[in-house]
A = this chain, B = another copy of it.
Amino acid sequence: MEAYLGLHPADLADRLQRLPTAEARAVLGQLPRPLAAGALAELEKEKIVELLQDQSPEQIAELFRELPSEVIADVAGALKPKARLAALNLLPAAQAEAAARLLQYRPDSAGGIMSDRFISLGENQSAEEALQLLRARVEPKTDEISYLYVVDEQRRLTGVVPLRDLVFAKPDRLVKNLMLRRVKSLPAEADQEAIAREFEHYHFLALPVVDAQNRLVGIVKASDAMEIARAEATEDMQLMVGLSGEERALTPWRKSIGKRLPWLYVNLATAFLAAAVVAVFESTIARWTALAIFLPIIAGQGGNAGMQTLTVIIRDMALGELTPGDGRKALLKEAILGLINGLAIGLVVGVIGWLWQGSLALGLVACGAMLLNQVAAALAGVLIPYGLKLARVDPALASSIFVTTVTDVAGFFFFLGLAALAMRWAPV
């Protein structure tokens, strides 16, 4: 137990994350409440829910009491409605209300990730009054305050004062004369992916969140935005290859199966599509078995090229760097690349095919099919994520499975089709 006491809450959370649930619960129970709460706030939501399972509402409420309302809202949102209500009802009214207020926002919106611990100033306060107010609000982590937000009587956001300006202002100067009126804010429904992009683009330390009436309801901090950006990048990578839900290397295998097997079945279905193309040409292969050797090369190269294109497109989409008009430019670029790469690889494959199998026809067929399939790969790598986006699903969703379906089907079709033509022309 002693070993845990000197740890930073973030490190303690790491340790707890690795302990079996029962043990983690025992450790948490013995820690001083503020430290336990600090660590809980850093844990992954999934783990917290696991820790709270089978705990009585009293036990849950006891832990909640130490947590900031945005963490309570996060965790409560993941509990079963009955358990949530029971636990919230046991909290002090102010805390329960704060959590309930935050619970009304979608978890992946500005409202869902914001904190409600912010300090707002009135326009007609003097700099001195404002500083007094700040001084009185001693809260943990207040060293992170860099900006102070200014609201009018209706709590509508009207400006922002950097702490530094407030410090150096004449004591009787009014906040409204100090504040910057051009203040960037986030609507409470703003999507978290867009928020992460804003932070990265403009290097904000924090952004205020406002409701539909422009009333200040919370703040989002840069560290939250960084966490979101990280989670979104992981999600993109994993979704692409058919992995639903953020999986870690040490996620128990029982859980991993559910995230992976369904997509393997999707891949299987698409693989049979490609196999059907091969089946159509079975008699061609029967007469010219060397084709079977080159079949996977044509398809595999297409798959790799398609993944290259896809990865570039998905990432740019996620970073918000592709305007709608860019799609056409990207498609053109990829088509050119596909042609050039197709020619460059096709020639090599063609010459090898010719020399290895002693058949110029095979070389020509392989070269032609490679060229065509590289272009198909390029087009699929652009059109599939755009198509998914049009269908209003995540453009990364299993996109590598769809792209390789295209490159397999097209690769087999081009190669075996050209071979069948060649055989008609000059029987093997």
Query: Closest CB of chain B to A47's CB: distance in Å?
Result: 13
A264 in contact with B345 (CB, 8 Å): yes
Within the complex, which residue of B223, B230, B294 is in contact with A203, where a contact is CB–CB below 8 Å?
A: B223
Residues of chain A from 133 to 172 with CB closer than 8 A to chain B in the complex: 134-135, 142-147, 162-165, 167-168
Query: Bound complex: CA of A319 vs CA of B348, how far in Å?
Result: 39
Query: Bound complex: CA of A309 vs CA of B94, how far in Å?
Result: 46
Q: Encode A1-22 as 1/0 by CB contact (under 8 A) with B.
A: 0000000101100100000000
Chain B residues positioned under 8 Å from A305 (CB to CB): 260, 264
Residues of chain A from 278 to 305 with CB closer than 8 A to chain B in the complex: 278-279, 282, 285-286, 289-297, 299-301, 303-305
A272 in contact with B297 (CB, 8 Å): yes
Say how many copies of this protein the assembly contains.
2
Within the complex, which residue of B143, B240, B250, B293 is in contact with A330, where a contact is CB–CB below 8 Å?
A: B250
Within the complex, which residue of B11, B238, B313 is in contact with A249, where a contact is CB–CB below 8 Å?
A: B313
Residues of chain A from 305 to 355 with CB closer than 8 A to chain B in the complex: 305, 307-308, 310-316, 319, 321-322, 326, 329-330, 333, 336-337, 340-341, 344-345, 348-349, 352
Given A275-B294, A296-B299, A242 and B164 touching (CB < 8 A)? no
Judge if A265 is at the interface, Cβ distance under 8 Å: yes
Within the complex, which residue of B143, B292, B400 is in contact with A278, where a contact is CB–CB below 8 Å?
A: B292
B143 in contact with A264 (CB, 8 Å): no
Find the B residue at minimum CB distance from A405: B300
Within the complex, which residue of B202, B257, B308 is in contact with A337, where a contact is CB–CB below 8 Å?
A: B257
Judge if A271 is at the interface, Cβ distance under 8 Å: yes
Find the B residue at minimum CB distance from A13: B201
Judge if A62 is at the interface, Cβ distance under 8 Å: no
Query: Closest CB of chain B to A419's CB: distance in Å?
Result: 12
A253 in contact with B297 (CB, 8 Å): no
Judge if A209 is at the interface, Cβ distance under 8 Å: no
Within the complex, which residue of B227, B248, B319, B412 is in contact with A200, where a contact is CB–CB below 8 Å?
A: B227
B301 in contact with A10 (CB, 8 Å): no
| Contact size range, A | 35 or more
Chain B residues positioned under 8 Å from A297 (CB to CB): 268, 271-272, 274-275
Within the complex, which residue of B227, B237, B312 is in contact with A243, where a contact is CB–CB below 8 Å?
A: B312
Judge if A222 is at the interface, Cβ distance under 8 Å: yes
Query: Closest CB of chain B to A330's CB: distance in Å?
Result: 4
Judge if A125 is at the interface, Cβ distance under 8 Å: no
Judge if A401 is at the interface, Cβ distance under 8 Å: yes
Given A263-B304, A329-B250, A145 and B164 touching (CB < 8 A)? yes
User: What are 18 residue pairs bridging A and B, where the CB atoms are less than 8 Å apart in the complex?
Assistant: A11-B201, A14-B201, A146-B205, A200-B223, A230-B319, A238-B315, A243-B312, A247-B312, A249-B326, A260-B341, A264-B308, A265-B345, A267-B301, A271-B296, A278-B293, A296-B299, A300-B404, A300-B408
